[in-house]
Amino acid sequence: MEKIYLAALQMVSGIGNSRLRSLVSFFGSAEQAWHAKQHDLSSCGILDESIFNKLIIHREKIDIYTLAYDWEKKGIKICCTNDTNYPKLLLNTFNVPPALYYRGVLPRTDQLIAIVGARKASSYGKNIAQLLAAELAEAGFWVVSGAARGIDTAAHQGALSKGYTIAVLGCGVDVDYPPENRKLLNHIAECGAVVSEYAPGTLAHPGHFPARNRIINGLSRGVVVVEAAEKSGALITADFALEEGRDVFAVPGSIFSESSKGTHRLIKQGAKLVDSAEDILEEYNLMKVKKGPQMLEFTSDEVKVYESLNYDFPIGIEEIVMKTKLEAGMITYILLQFELRGLAVEHNGRRYLRIAKEGIK
């Protein structure tokens, strides 16, 4: 029950990580701090009057056992810094979260790599994020990201296709944010972990995301930035990585793209340029498993449709009709088959993009 008391204290507005550690140290445990007499709480020198009053009201409203039961029903677990499964890399960072809330299973390895980037990502950016994540997961890495729209979502999806991933949230682990990623977050909880330092029920707030980014970095041996404007959350994560001595990788983009200016600046500052998973794996003396050529059997019509697609810009059915001279119904059927085979993906309403596949002849 000590973890629940720790969580209950943390839920009080104004009791951050530093105050929480001080309270536990002063009273000997979170449980004793929770049950401390009002006089002792007011005189301990840790809480100002406003936070003290919030704690007293909070204690009267919260039933610890009901709280524990509700979280257990939702599959929410708590990991504290003295637990054996607390992520080792995160322990060695600034402002370590005293407690992590999570759904799923925390990794027993330090082979974690973060992939982050723009929310308003291009098709090129999402494609490369998904590809890198899949190849890193296949090589044994857990891919860490923030479950945001754009690059984060693509990275999680790519990792899930080959292995495991961790989503770090700027809200409670029982809050679906962004809302359209509800199914994705549930899938991640089944094949990895959904993690947060914020108590269940905490809504997303802009002020939470820089703190969320420090945890993404803290969990990871390195951070890969795929598309980032000159001022972006992804660059905040990269800055945390540099401060903590973690590796920083960046994927180049078009010199005309605003969403590549941040990644190009990182490269100029010394981040390793990445154009394949091998560039990352070699930093950790790991090699991608070499496979024989992937011989795909295409019909003549499938060849026409596949060759009309590209990796950078999604194209619509009408444009494919013009290129291939095939009927729209046949093209739609072929594209569906490509999606099922992992050869293409739909973007922005019936516009399709080729997914990079090694060994396609």
Q: Give the tokens for residue 8.
A: 């209950």
Mean pLDDT over residues 188-214, rounded? 94
301 or 357: which leads in pLDDT: 301
CA 11, 16, 21, 25 torsion: positive or negative?
negative
pLDDT tens column, 135-186: 999 999 999 999 999 999 999 999 999 999 999 999 999 999 999 999 999 9
Q: Is the pLDDT of residue 50 over 90?
A: yes
The residue type at 278: E
Contact between residue 122 and residue 227 where contact means Cβ atoms under 8 Å apart: yes
Q: What is the structure's pLDDT at 271?
A: 93
DSSP lists the bridge partners of residue 184 as: none
Q: How confident is the model at residue 357 (pLDDT cuts 50, 70, 90)?
A: low
What CA–CA distances, in Å, run from 200 to 15, 174, 356? 16, 6, 38
By the 8 A CB rule, do 252 and 260 touch? Answer: yes
Task: Please give the pLDDT value at position 252.
Answer: 94
To the nearest whole number, what is the mean pLDDT of the chain?
90
Q: Give the model's confidence band at 19: pLDDT under 50 very low, under 70 low, under 90 confident, else very high.
A: very high
Task: Give the closest residue to 186 by CA, choosing from 248, 83, 103.
Answer: 103
Contact assessment for residue 178 and residue 198, using Cβ atoms and an 8 Å cutoff? no
Please check whether residue 340 is in contact with residue 329, taking contact to mean a CB–CB distance below 8 angstroms.
Answer: no
Distance CA 245, CA 297 (A): 47
Helix (H) / strand (E) containing 112: strand 112-117
Quote the distance between the C-alpha of residue 35 and its chain's center.
36
Give alpha helix (H) positions in 139-286: 151-160, 182-190, 208-219, 233-243, 261-268, 277-281
**Residue 79 bridge partners (DSSP):** 100
What would the mean pLDDT of 213-239 be, rounded to a whole number? 90
Q: Would you state the pLDDT for residue 162?
A: 92
297-320 per-position pLDDT tens digit: 788 899 999 989 987 788 999 999
Report pLDDT for 290: 55
CA distance 35 to 19: 16
pLDDT at 338 over 70: yes
Q: At residue 191, does pLDDT exceed 50? A: yes
Chain segment 87-105, per-residue pLDDT in tens: 999 998 888 999 999 999 9
Provide, rounded to the nearest whole percent, the portion of the chain with pLDDT above 90: 70
Instruction: Using the predicted structure, report yes or no on whether residue 11 has a pLDDT greater than 60.
Output: yes
248 pLDDT higher than 90: yes
Amino acid 94: pLDDT: 86
CB 198, CB 101: distance < 8 Å: yes
Residue type, 340: L
What is the spatial distance between Cα 138 and Cα 160, in angstroms, rounded to a whole number?
10
**pTM for this model (two decimals):** 0.83
Is the pLDDT score of 292 beyond 60?
A: no
| 347 vs 220, residue with greater confidence | 220
Tell me how far apart the alpha carbons of residues 77 and 243 are, in angstroms, rounded to a whole number. Answer: 30
Residues 129 and 155 sit within 8 Å (Cβ to Cβ): yes
